[in-house]
Amino acid sequence: MLRSSNPILSKQDAFTPAAPQYNQNPYNQPQAGYGQYPAPGYPQAPVEPLEGRMTFDDVVTKTALTMGVLIIAAALAWMFVPASLYFPLLIGSGLIGFIVVMIVAFRRKVQPGLVLLYAAIEGIFIGMISKFFETMYSGIVVQAVIGTFAAAAVTLAAYKFFNIRVTPKFQKVVIIATIAFAVACLINFLFALAGINVGLRDGGTGPISLLAVAFSLLGAVLAVLNLVLDFDYIEQGVAMGAPASESWRGAFGLTVTMVWLYIEILRLLSYIRR
């Protein structure tokens, strides 16, 4: 049984090889079909279609679809949301997106509708935060998009060409650091709502906080390391013959990690531009 340390791809039975379906003939014995008669005394049960196996092409296709929905939602939010709704939609979409992530992560089987719903909600969040930074630093969004896909491409190339192997110790360190980072972000957010700045996120225009720079740099590094876990998990899932439906889980995990990487690169670029 394959397990992943990635919080989004960590279902215990997510990539268990597909089991034989109901009424599958394990011994290749002749069965009654068209032009044949069932054996006397044995009524023929309906044959259910077998679910296919997960492939890299499936993951790529579903990831492209999910990212496409996210980009379209972000573009629509960017173009049509008035300035008076920037902050409410930014906070609302961020919180709802987090809830959807938790729902998808804890479900036994990923529902494509929930994955696409997350992409649409997170697209609104990306559109709002991108618009906010673009108004302060012209051209920063294009730079962040290029930086995000470049970092993902370099990570994938390093994973394949350097034959990176994810060890249990590596998985443990990354997952603990990721959870700690998420908890720190939540604490910072709650303090920010109360009007208290703990220095982990710096969105102002004054002197740059070195703590904020270090925190965003840590976040970008953790996002890249989670991409390595994503690639390893998907590769193992394909090798083990996971059900085709699990391609949605792989696409979902990659999308969540890419969004996280984009946010951290966007913040880092804003510090450099200042």
Over residues 262-272, the pLDDT tens digits come to 999 999 999 98
Residues 6+ apart with CB under 8 A from 126: 70, 73, 74, 77, 259, 262
Q: Region 243-258: what's the mean pLDDT?
A: 91
Using CA atoms, how far residue 83 sits from 21, 124, 128, in Å, is 53, 14, 9
In this predicted structure, the answer to whether residue 41 has a pLDDT above a threshold of 70 is no
Q: What is the DSSP string of 35-55?
A: T--PPTT-PPPPPPPPP-B--
Question: What's phi and psi for 243, nearest 5 deg?
Answer: -60, 150
Give the span between the Cα atoms of 72 and 126, in whole angstroms: 11
Nearest to 213 by CA among 199, 192, 224, 223: 199
What local confidence, expressed as pLDDT, does residue 65 receive?
96
Q: Which two tokens stand for residue 107?
A: 């479900």
pTM over 0.85: no
Angle at Cα 15 formed by Cα 10 and Cα 17, nearest 5°? 160
Instruction: Please count the other Cβ atoms lying within 10 Å of the Cβ belonging to residue 40.
Output: 5
Nearest to 148 by CA among 49, 248, 227, 77: 227
What local confidence, expressed as pLDDT, does residue 19 receive?
43
* Confidence band of 102 (pLDDT split at 50, 70, 90): confident
Nearest to 74 by CA among 140, 133, 112, 119: 119
* Confidence band of 8 (pLDDT split at 50, 70, 90): low
Q: Region 27-42: what's the mean pLDDT?
A: 45
Q: Is 139 helix (H, G, I), strand (E, B) or coil?
A: coil
Per-residue pLDDT tens for 107-159?
888 889 999 999 999 999 999 999 999 999 999 999 999 999 999 999 999 99
